[in-house]
Amino acid sequence: MEKVDTMPVQTSTIEAKKALCVDLDGTLLHSDSLQEAVCAVLRRNFFDIFRLPLWLSRGKAYFKHQVYERAEIDIERLPYRQDLIELLRAEQRRGRVLVLATGAQQGFARKVANHLELFQEVIGSDETYNLTGEAKAQRLVDRFGEQGFDYVGNSRVDLQVWKRAASAWVVSSDKQLIQAAERLAPLTKSFSDNTPRLKVFAKALRIHQWAKNFLIFLPTLLSDHLLNPVHWARDGLAFLSFSFIASSVYILNDLLDIEADRRHPDNRKRPFAAGTLSIATGVGLIPVLLTAGLSIGAWLSPGYLAIVLGYFTMTCLYSLRLKQIVMADIIVLAVLYTWRVLAGGVATGTMISEWFLTFALFFFLSLALLKRCSELILMEQNREKKNSRRGYTVTDLPLLVAVGVANAYLSVLVLALYINDPKVNGHLIYPQVLWAMCPILLYWVSRMWLKAYRGQMHTDPLVFALKDRTSYLLALLTGMLWLFARGVIFLPFAF
């Protein structure tokens, strides 16, 4: 939640007529429009990343011009600071002249002004002139005179503007910045963001999605090394490695998907789409997480390093292109889930049954289809026809549901074949107990699909399962059956 501190300042008629000049990036917007524009350019053509340094070498003004000219940004869905906008509307009703004074490109700033219908004048950068810091201060003094305007800003570069303004409005939680601004100009208002930073970072890393990586432990759970601490330790390191790499790709995916996320009722709350975490921070986190994940992978074994490199490559291809190809995205998602099981086997040197890998592929293909169907059902409820970042339409729903349910039931069939495999049950004390897993899985997948069909499913089945008591109960029962079959525990009610 955001807090607005208002100083008890008496505003005279003369002061009320002073122009109120408002910065855009980080002030009127939670995010930075230039960073948004760079993401939009790369989303359209990722290979433009090699052109960015060339544009920057000709100066920041030229760089901004090239980026903004190529960017396609939905002005209406940008993360505006609503509390500030409400105060600006109040100033507008009092007859105050409002000016949008920004380092963003003039044309882009004018689009924002036209959308908000707040500003009488727009002052921005052009191809040869970068309007920030001292340059902005001088432009405003030339236009309104020394201390002939009030200024709303958010960063240290704005100190040069506040120095020449009549009063300061500060949009920042940085107490040192607020004090520095107050020493230069009377402080009228300050805006602070009290959102817990740790919570924002956890959401950006999608810590809850790390639950998928527990699949890495499955080969050890299903092998004769169940009580081997070395296997568990290696699985733990593999889990961290996969989690760090997965988070780096999640961030890349979110940066490229900002526009689509803002149209989504749930995803619009993601940190980069909502502007609670800067795009620059996300770009900085990607190499840090990737380096950590690959370093752990290299320490485990060359084979495991190859596995995680393959995972990273596949997820990047998915984020950049494959997610937009009908059906290919679903198959890739299923393969990435199964890849985690394979990674657990490679990390510990544990053999994995072909039947189990086949079961995993069908099972996760059903979950991937469940995710897409849940999204389409939500779109149908919101009367949307097509997802701008996917290749599916609401009319595809009946077919996808049919394919998804078929794969769910195929996974139950393959589970039965896996249980019947002598390589599996030959090492068990009570192998017949495992047959109880089939009706349990059959009930769970049927229930999940029924929930989705009724529109009661979260767009991510994993998130739903993590909050679903029934799923926990069935998982616990399945685990107990497996341990009993191995003779680790005794269940008097099993027969």
Beta partners for 153?
Answer: 170
Beta partners for 167?
Answer: 150
Please report the pLDDT score of residue 221 as a whole number. Answer: 83
**Weakest-pLDDT range from 302-306, 332-336, 387-391:** 387-391
Burial class (CB in 10 A: 0-12, 13-18, 19+), 265: exposed
Which two tokens mark 99?
């000016």
Please report the pLDDT score of residue 148 as a whole number. Answer: 92
pLDDT tens sequence across 51-89: 999 999 988 889 998 999 888 888 999 999 998 999 999
pLDDT tens sequence across 422-438: 777 667 778 888 899 99
Residues 228, 417: Cα–Cα separation, whole Å:
27
165 and 149 Cβ atoms separated by less than 8 Å: yes
pLDDT tens sequence across 204-244: 999 988 988 998 998 888 877 777 889 999 999 999 999 99
Q: Is the pLDDT of residue 166 over 90?
A: yes
- CA–CA distance from 300 to each of 117, 220, 240, 310, 446 (Å)? 58, 16, 12, 16, 39
Residues 155, 165: Cα–Cα separation, whole Å:
15
Please report the pLDDT score of residue 276 as a whole number. Answer: 87
Q: Residue 380 — very low, low, confident or very high, per pLDDT cuts 50/70/90?
A: confident
Q: What is the CATH number of domain 2-194?
A: 3.40.50.1000
**HEC letters along 429-463:** CCHHHHHHHHHHHHHHHHHHHHHHHCCCCCCCHHH
Of residues 153 and 391, the one with the higher pLDDT is 153
Amino acid at 58: R
Q: Domain 198-352 is classified in which CATH homologous superfamily? A: UbiA prenyltransferase (1.10.357.140)
168 three-state secondary structure: strand
Please report the pLDDT score of residue 12 as a whole number. Answer: 42
Helix segments in 226-327, DSSP class H: 229-256, 258-262, 271-274, 279-300, 302-320
Which residues lie closer than 8 Å to 447 by C-beta, 6 or more apart?
470
Residues 402, 404: Cα–Cα separation, whole Å:
5
Please report the pLDDT score of residue 491 as a whole number. Answer: 52
3-state helix vs strand vs coil in the chain, percent to 5: 65, 10, 25
93 and 159 Cβ atoms separated by less than 8 Å: no
Q: Residue 105 — very low, low, confident or very high, per pLDDT cuts 50/70/90?
A: very high
352 and 421 Cβ atoms separated by less than 8 Å: no
Q: Residue 7 — very low, low, confident or very high, per pLDDT cuts 50/70/90?
A: very low
Q: Is the pLDDT of residue 288 over 90?
A: yes
Domains in the chain: boundaries: 2-194, 198-352
